[in-house]
Structure 1
Amino acid sequence: MIALALGLALTLQQPVINEAPGIMAALTQETVEIRENFAGTSLVLYGATRGLTLRDEIVVVLRGPEQDLRVMRKRRSFGIWVNAAPVEFEAVPTYYAIASSLPLDVIAPPEALARNGIGLASFLQPGAGDDDRAMPGEDELETYRAAVARAGSRDALYAETPGGVDVLDGGLFRAVLKMPPRTPVGNYNAEVYLFRDGRPVASRTTSLRVEKAGFERLVYEFAHNAPMIYGLFCVALAMLAGYLAAVIFGRD
């Protein structure tokens, strides 16, 4: 009887053990609107896994639109602080947030994370540049990466949240990602990875759109569609404001 019970239990468990790992995920909203009173928001990403085991961990990465970035060091020259030694970083996300079920260094080695574009070091690689300057060494490059990370963290545009993914019963999971007031507009990608023994065994990508709305959208489109007229309008508005201030607060 005991042998029969054990055999039955193993038979029932066998499909679960051999089940191919998979992952599904979605955001609670596909569009974030930035209006005049926008003070940031929180996105909830939820999903489910197939074939989840105790060895598995989940990493969620939310990337914003990319831009080329030029980083320089301040150096003192003849008593004046000047910008020098520029380094060009190509295709740097303007927003980058990571949430994971455990700290990243516990989930996978740096090489596996970098191969999948996870972590600041994976995309903060110097470009060819526009001249023959020598590329900085790896130790010096880390100071540039740290400067970019500090600038992004100061505006809450770069964030890493170990333990930010809650794994629930039945292979369900949930992650909360915060978007600050200065969230850039554009297309975003939310990438979800299922790691097992230090390597990704399944992944899923979903998209998000951040756009201006209301009066903010009118100003944004005006500035981008007619930049010269927008600039002249701002100059005229500033001159008018200065004239009115002089009239109201001026003294004989």
Structure 2
Amino acid sequence: MLRVCLALLTLIALPAKAEVVVAGLSQNRVSITATFVGSEILIFGAVKRDAPPPEGDPLRVVVVVEGPSGPITVRRKAKRYGIWVNTDAVVVDQAPSFYAVATSASLRESISQIDDLRHDITIPQAIRLVGEATETVNPRDFADAVVRIRTEAGLYNLQEGAVELVEDTLFNTRIALPANLTEGEYRTRIYLTRGGYVASQYETVINVQKVGLERWVFNLAHEQPLVYGLLSLFIAIAAGWGASTAFRMLLRS
């Protein structure tokens, strides 16, 4: 009983947060169909305050959208005897399939290095190198290669100044999701920072899932590969036979 009373007294003594982020999404579910060419998510919100904002320390907003992570093999090529060949291969243990960072100011002004390390905000912080990767001469080179390749594919992007902040209270930004999305939960994080340090944060999830025929084909290929292979073979034979029959009829006419 004494411990409970002490805990309650401690909670009462703690000061309330001066600023709290309240946010929402234009949609929290993305459906991948045969005609899916990408999507755009509007992320918006407001800052709830219990006291006037501090002066001389501007508010910054950082938005992070992170797709499902998984291992990826990165190979290094070198020229040997006049031809390019793979010389080294490293498995990067965790690399997000999609990663977008949007800020209301420059990245350097928005987040300190300490809080970047603490909250894993920037793109390099999302890449995990352990085990075999850490034993190579320059392990970070392979992580940088993942970032470069997926940035060129439109899967990783940094948008400095893309978050619109109105009177230090309302904010919004748009995150473009490309057509080549991976299914899964896309972790969405919003940070309020002052002086580069996180003052408040909010987190939610965007569900990305195949639907309709695409979902059926995906499940069939992964759950019943034999049936999927036979069905694919049958469709290929039927398509070839149909094309040849149509071509013969066209020649006869």
The partner residue of 1:29 within 27, 30, 35 is 27
Deviations 1:96-130 (A, max 9, x none): 11111012122223342132111121122322039
The partner residue of 1:112 within 105, 115, 120 is 115
Moved more, 80-89 or 190-199: 80-89
Deviations 1:153-183 (A, max 9, x none): 2221111111111112461111111011112
8 Å Cα contact 2:105/2:161 also seen in 1: yes
Provide the identity percentage. Answer: 29
SS at match of 2:131: coil
Structure 1 unmatched runs, 5+: 1-17
Q: What's the counterpart of residue 7 of structure 2?
A: none
SS at match of 1:89: strand
CA 1:170/1:98 → structure 2, altered by over 3 Å: closer, same or farther? closer
Q: What's the counterpart of residue 124 of structure 1?
A: 127
TM-aligned CA deviation for residue 150 of structure 1: 2.5
TM-aligned CA deviation for residue 245 of structure 1: 5.3
Q: What's the counterpart of residue 4 of structure 1?
A: none
Q: What's the counterpart of residue 86 of structure 1?
A: 89
Moved more, 195-204 or 107-116: 107-116
Given the alignment of the two structures, is residue 136 of structure 1 paired with residue 137 of structure 2, yes or no?
yes
Aligned residues: 229
8 Å Cα contact 1:25/1:206 also seen in 2: no
Within-5 A mapping of 1:1-252: 20-51=18-49, 52-53=53-54, 55-129=58-132, 134-137=135-138, 141=140, 143-169=141-167, 171-242=169-240
CA 1:232/1:114 → structure 2, altered by over 3 Å: closer, same or farther? farther
TM-aligned CA deviation for residue 227 of structure 1: 2.1
Find the aligned partners of 1:72 and 1:243 in 2 and give their Cα distance.
42
Find the aligned partners of 1:19 and 1:113 in 2 and give their Cα distance.
21
CA 1:76/1:241 → structure 2, altered by over 3 Å: closer, same or farther? farther
Find the aligned partners of 1:197 and 1:153 in 2 and give their Cα distance.
28
SS at match of 2:164: strand
Structure 2 unmatched runs, 5+: 1-15
TM-aligned CA deviation for residue 192 of structure 1: 0.5
SS at match of 2:135: coil
Find the aligned partners of 1:151 and 1:249 in 2 and give their Cα distance.
44
CA 1:168/1:245 → structure 2, altered by over 3 Å: closer, same or farther? same
SS at match of 1:73: strand
Find the aligned partners of 1:228 and 1:57 in 2 and give their Cα distance.
54
8 Å Cα contact 2:76/2:86 also seen in 1: yes
SS at match of 1:129: helix
Find the aligned partners of 2:17 and 2:136 in 1 and give their Cα distance.
47
TM-aligned CA deviation for residue 242 of structure 1: 4.7
SS at match of 2:214: helix
8 Å Cα contact 1:187/1:210 also seen in 2: yes
SS at match of 2:37: coil
Alignment TM-score, normalising by the size of structure 2:
0.80
Alignment TM-score, normalising by the size of structure 1:
0.80
TM-aligned CA deviation for residue 243 of structure 1: 5.4
Amino acid at match of 1:126: L
SS at match of 1:29: coil
Deviations 1:134-155 (A, max 9, x none): 3333xx62x3233212221222
8 Å Cα contact 1:19/1:50 also seen in 2: no
Q: What's the counterpart of residue 6 of structure 1?
A: none
Find the aligned partners of 1:60 and 1:31 in 2 and give their Cα distance.
18
Find the aligned partners of 1:218 and 1:57 in 2 and give their Cα distance.
44
